[in-house]
Amino acid sequence: MRYTSLGSTGMTVSRLCLGCMSYGASAWRPWVLDEEAARPFFRRAIEAGINFFDTADMYSLGVSEEVTGRALREYGRPEELVIATKVFFPLSDRPNMGGLSRKHIIQGCEASLRRLGVETIDLYQIHRFDPVVPIEETLAALDHLVRSGKVRYIGASSGYAWQFAKALGASERHGWARFVTMQNHYNLLYREEEREMIPLCANEGIGLMPWSPLARGILAGARQSITDRDASIRAATDTYGHGLYDERVNWAIVDAVRTIASERGVPMAQVALAWLLSQPQVAAPIVGATKPQQLEDALGAVSLVLSAEEMAMLEAPYRPQPVRGIA
């Protein structure tokens, strides 16, 4: 495993972050692994040197945090690990159970601490920007959590560059804790973040933790067409993913990944992840795995170096597209 600093912080993270949305309760999503099935993935990840784990309070309605916390306490050393979780999406339809108000952020953090079984969350992220709550209220609440020792660093996930810039400016003016990471939608099939968000993050020393690095498995060769919903249970039931990747998928990019993978004798997933890992501002893509080989493929990508010609071959077919993944 290789390691890097998370943005401009002094915190060291592995070049891969294990996404824990896939672990929790299958009653929440049919493709989610229950605890016993999930445990081997945590063990293998830690054995391989992964020390960075990302979950959220809404994944399996809190169960993912519980499963993640128990597994990391059993297989890892807390002082070496970096645990990230998120707040925003509601856990129920009752009042004050979602959003980024001071009330929900603080009570959400306290609940996440209990479920994870830790005293401090290393990276506490807003899962989306809240169009209703003033960003100053959100940032003041997050700063309170940092100053009280419940959170070490704060981050954001998916938004417009103007929203992120506004938040960074507010933190600067008030002397509050500022966002150190951006967890954004970024992969070979979706590169709109390169227009504004990534240049902003580079200028501000923000570390990127891209989600959906394999475009819901499309870049790993899991589907031959966008209508191939029989490839997996997730492909058939992931309604959010259906909105991210539709008939506009650029299959020429997938073909380029396939060609390079064949020439190199490696899985397609390794090529797609190696491209992402080569982007200067990317600290650690968030990889999900529900099959052992998926995790092994991701681990192999860390040491795969693409040539300039291969990079150009992967990037050339890209065409601009509508912004997706913000909501």
* Catalytic site positions: 59
Alpha helices (runs of H) in the chain, residue ranges in sequence order? 35-47, 63-75, 102-116, 135-147, 161-174, 197-204, 233-237, 239-244, 251-264, 268-277, 292-301, 308-315
d(CA 170, CA 186) in angstroms, rounded, equals 26
Task: Tell me the backbone φ, ψ of residue 290, rounded to 5 degrees.
Answer: -120, 0
For the chain, the first-to-last Cα distance in angstroms comes to 33
Around 176, how many Cα atoms within 13 Å sit in the side-chain half-sphere? 21
d(CA 177, CA 3) in angstroms, rounded, equals 24
Task: Tell me the backbone φ, ψ of residue 213, rounded to 5 degrees.
Answer: -65, -20
d(CA 20, CA 59) in angstroms, rounded, equals 8
Burial bucket for residue 69 (CB in 10 Å: 0-12, 13-18, 19+): buried
